[in-house]
Amino acid sequence: MHKKNNELIMRIPNPFDDSAQTRLVRMGVVNKDGQINQEVLSTFAAIFTGLFFDDICDFYSDTEDLLTVYNTFFEFYSKEDHQHMYLLFSIQYDYIRKPLPDPVWWLAGNGIAVKEFMTRFMVRYKELMIEAGFIKAGGEADKK
């Protein structure tokens, strides 16, 4: 926050500004040298993948819609296109009319963290889709 003409003005946080790295350090995702904390990022990804999965399952009533979302992620993952995976993650939250969780938003300013997060996201997302019976163990959508 800062003052302008004696009014308090809320500063809108931006993951691409100088404070992004500091925020990631405070979350424990990276250390002060910018190295990814693998253990924290794994836990972080598990939590936010579970939240994402619950959110989309609550929103979509048709299995085909869930499979379409999964298959789009899987396509980007197969191409190692982590930036588009992250963008798709964000777009899905827009589509279901929920804000992107702030901790995930802060990853946007760190390409290495995005790559590591989206890789772990996809591994866990696939496990959840298998456990729910939406896809087969090989990762492919179960076409009925």
- Alpha carbon separation from 3 to 6, 7, 100, 102 (Å, rounded): 6, 5, 28, 24
In a 13 Å sphere around the CA of 24, the CA atoms on its Cβ side amount to 31
Main-chain phi, psi angles of 61, to 5 degrees: -100, -10
**Over its length of 144 residues, how does the chain's per-residue pLDDT go in tens digits?**
445 566 666 655 565 566 777 889 988 999 988 899 999 999 999 999 999 999 999 999 999 999 999 999 999 999 999 999 999 999 999 999 999 998 899 898 889 999 999 999 999 999 999 999 999 987 555 444
- Nearest in space to 101 (alpha carbons), one of 13, 5, 3, 10: 13
Q: What are the sequence ranges of the domains in the chain?
A: 46-135
* % helix, strand, coil for the chain, step of 5: 60, 5, 30
